[in-house]
């Protein structure tokens, strides 16, 4: 079968979505299919660029480009799941959350964003409604499926995707630190974790790995609070380094806000490490059982600090 995977490309922005795309393509190849990945350029702002991306996606007919027949299209991301094909399936990783569950938090929540909200919702309704009716609409987590139901009235089946190189994770003797690997962005809440590290009573340190838009702010926060000995910022690390850092941690701290899925949770469990997350963290709550596989706490610095201290002393 010839399969086309349709997704997005935001240059130099790498995270779980990109790992999912590569993992799906690899798995399809392993099953003997011919696979190509169509990645459409995407920019989150300005709003005019989002509108342009939607128009571009729906104008693409991939049934038989240049006479080359494609048997199935799998759309993964907004707006790539709007690419036209008679045998399309959507496996939604996330929608354009700025006009959905994050709409009320936007600082520029005015007429322009409201117009974009209307445009995006109309786009999603047209692109996804027929797929839902044909039972060809899937989500990468229950959290994402619930959003589709809440905002669009669409029923999607949740299909979990394993983290990349799942077999490479292992457990080693715990050392006196907690680990938090993730892209440095506001929704990942590194700022909150650094505040929690300041409140910790134990001698354990907090190790954060990754890069992203909030990296400079994290550096500034650590310096301002005088936490140079308490918080270690690794920056970007190789997968081999992540496996080791995770294997030797006391626990993994992962408290994002309404995460779509979150490979970090599963990676921690593959390394036999408990996970500390928050009661509004979304995807991680599908796996973390309070006081069984981790701790679920309020999204405050003090609650996180108390949870970290619990593991440090036990």
Phi, psi of 113 (to 5 degrees): -70, -35
Q: Report CA dihedral (84, 39, 158, 211) to the nearest 10 degrees.
A: -160
The region that residue 132 occupies, defined by phi over 0 for left and psi between -120 and 50 for alpha, beta otherwise, is: alpha
Q: pLDDT per residue over 216-269, tens digit each? A: 999 999 999 999 999 999 999 999 999 999 999 999 999 999 999 999 999 999
Per-residue pLDDT, 314: 86
298: exposed, middle or buried (Cβ count in 10 Å: 0-12, 13-18, 19+) = middle
Residue 18: both structure tokens together: 């990109």
β-bridge partners, 173:
none
How many Å apart are CA 231 and CA 43, to the nearest integer? 32
Task: Write the DSSP symbol of residue 199.
Answer: H
Residues 242/209, Cβ–Cβ less than 8 Å: yes
Residue 102: both structure tokens together: 């994050």
Across the chain, mean pLDDT equals 95
Task: Write the DSSP symbol of residue 288.
Answer: P
Per-residue pLDDT, 107: 63
Q: pLDDT per residue over 288-302, tens digit each? A: 999 999 999 999 999
DSSP-assigned letters across all residues of 46-79: SHHHHHHHHHHHHH-B-SSGGG---SEEEEEETT
Residue whose pair of structure tokens reads 């619990």 in the numeric block: 310
Indicate the pTM of the whole model: 0.92
């Amino acid at each position: 079968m010839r399969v086309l995977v349709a997704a997005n490309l935001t240059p130099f922005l790498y995270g779980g979505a990109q790992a999912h795309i590569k993992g799906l393509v690899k798995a399809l190849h392993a099953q003997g299919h011919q696979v190509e990945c169509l990645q459409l350029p995407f920019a989150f702002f300005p709003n005019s660029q989002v509108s342009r991306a939607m128009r571009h996606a729906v104008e693409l007919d991939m049934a038989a480009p240049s006479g080359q027949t494609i048997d199935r299209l799998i759309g993964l991301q907004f707006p790539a799941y709007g690419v036209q094909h008679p045998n399309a399936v959507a496996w939604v990783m996330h929608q354009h959350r700025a006009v959905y569950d994050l709409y009320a938090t936007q600082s520029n929540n005015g007429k322009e964003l409201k117009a974009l909200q209307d445009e995006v919702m109309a786009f999603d309704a047209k692109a996804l409604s027929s797929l839902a009716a044909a039972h060809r609409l899937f989500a990468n987590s229950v959290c994402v499926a619930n959003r589709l139901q809440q905002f669009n009235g669409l029923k999607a089946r949740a299909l979990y995707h394993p983290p990349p190189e799942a077999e490479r994770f292992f457990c080693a003797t715990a050392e006196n630190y907690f680990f938090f690997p993730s892209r440095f962005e506001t929704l990942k809440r590194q700022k909150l974790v650094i505040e929690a590290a300041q409140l910790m009573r134990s001698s354990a340190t907090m190790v954060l790995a990754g890069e992203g838009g909030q990296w400079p702010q994290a550096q500034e926060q650590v310096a301002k609070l005088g936490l140079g000995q308490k918080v270690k910022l690794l920056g970007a690390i190789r997968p081999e380094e992540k496996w080791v850092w995770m294997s030797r941690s006391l626990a993994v701290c992962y408290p994002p806000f309404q995460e779509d899925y979150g490979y970090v949770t599963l990676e921690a469990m593959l390394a036999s490490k408990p996970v500390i997350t928050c009661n509004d963290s979304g995807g991680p709550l599908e796996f973390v059982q309070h006081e069984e596989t981790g701790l679920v706490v309020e999204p405050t610095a003090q609650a996180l600090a108390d949870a970290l201290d619990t593991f440090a002393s036990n």
